Copies of this chain bind each other. A is one copy, B any other.
Amino acid sequence: MATIKDVARHAGVSVATVSRVLNSAGYVHEDTRKKVEEAIAALQYSPNEVARSLYKRKSKLVGLLIPDITNPYFPQLARGVEDEMRENDFRLIIGNSDEDEHKEQEYMQTFTQNNVVGVVTATNDPDTQTYDSLRIPVVFLDRTSDDRPSIYSDGRQGGRLAAKAILAGGSKEITLMQGPAHVKPAQDRFSGAVEVLEQANASYNIIQTSTFSFHHVDKLAEALFRRYPATDGVIASNDLAAFAVMHEAYKLGKHIPNDIQIVGFDDIPVSSLVSPGLSTIRQPAYEMGRAAGRLLIELVEGKQTKETNTQFPVELIERGTTRKVEQ
């Protein structure tokens, strides 16, 4: 690895001059610039980001914390954040928190130890204390928060749309899956759905889930039909849960959507691929990720941003798990 010194020597100038052309700062004669650039090319020099980071006390690194990358919803968020960052020359250190406060703290420490300029966190149960003591900007993603920069979608409206769709399709015995209590967006969805169901005077049951993880959803689906066998409409807490319900419904010999309607939440990519296609509430995850990235960059660069808190609209995607109704 060539260093700035090697370049300076090769070009017959001082390191300061090299640094100047590198950062296009200060004055430097056209001819010397040329020489330096040639030297850089000849030596295939590229500046050591670590030394830079040490001197400036800030890197080109951003921390991204997500609950579990194995849940297809998060890679979309992550991808959005990454693309936005890459276009602005930032790179990501990614960590999975698994809803584990210890891991979360561990990663936050890694982030600060590495001079990240900011962090995006899509963690469900952020220990706000940890974030309070942070000196760098933090953007909360997929998480509502009034007093902090955050990007999220309209969970309440999503809940409403889901409930309306199920109602429109004529379900009478609706079961509502309630996501983890500490996850704000999950609760928003829930209350949005409840709101509509109440207004419609519909009868519904509730089944609780404490996690979004794979391993639990199938058991949850089983429990759902055991407890509420008459269920003919399910508002799932997310697409994964919806799949599990579909799976279980088939096992029980129910036909979808004739015997039972199901609405998911998220619209992860596979949802359009399965059969029947899953009707679901779409969150623009990728765009949300990008927005979070953009917001963080603005914060990092100290730009005045009034819009530090933006909510994305959701949308009902009707596919094959709900009944079509004539308009």
Contacts and interface: CB of A to CB of B under 8 A. Distances in A.
A184 to B, nearest CB: 24
Contacts of A72: 72, 75, 270
A223 interface: no
B113 A48 contact: yes
Contacts of A274: 243, 246-247, 270, 274-275
Identify which of A46, A54, A135 gathers the most chain B CB atoms within 10 Å of its CB.
A54
Contacts of A250: 275-276
A61 interface: yes
B247 A49 contact: no
A92 interface: yes
B275 A61 contact: no
Interface residues of A, number: 55
A59 B50 contact: yes
Contacts of A46: 109, 112-113
A285 to B, nearest CB: 10
A273 interface: yes
Counting chain B CB atoms within 10 Å of each CB, which of A86, A112, A270 scores highest?
A270
Given A110-B91, A113-B49, A246 B270 contact: no
Contacts of A113: 46-50
Contacts of A54: 48, 50-51, 54
B69 A69 contact: yes
Nearest to A83: B96
Contacts of A159: none
A197 interface: no
A50 B273 contact: no
A217 B273 contact: yes
Interface string A261-304: 00000000110111111000000000000000000000000000
Given A75-B69, A95-B91, A243 B273 contact: yes
Interface in A83-108: 86, 91-96, 103, 106-107
Interface in A174-199: none
Contact of A70 (B47, B50, B79, B86): B79
Contact of A50 (B76, B86, B114): B114
B246 A61 contact: no
Nearest to A246: B275
A128 to B, nearest CB: 17
16 contacts: A46-B109, A49-B114, A50-B59, A50-B113, A50-B114, A69-B69, A70-B75, A70-B79, A72-B72, A86-B106, A91-B114, A218-B272, A246-B273, A246-B275, A247-B275, A247-B277
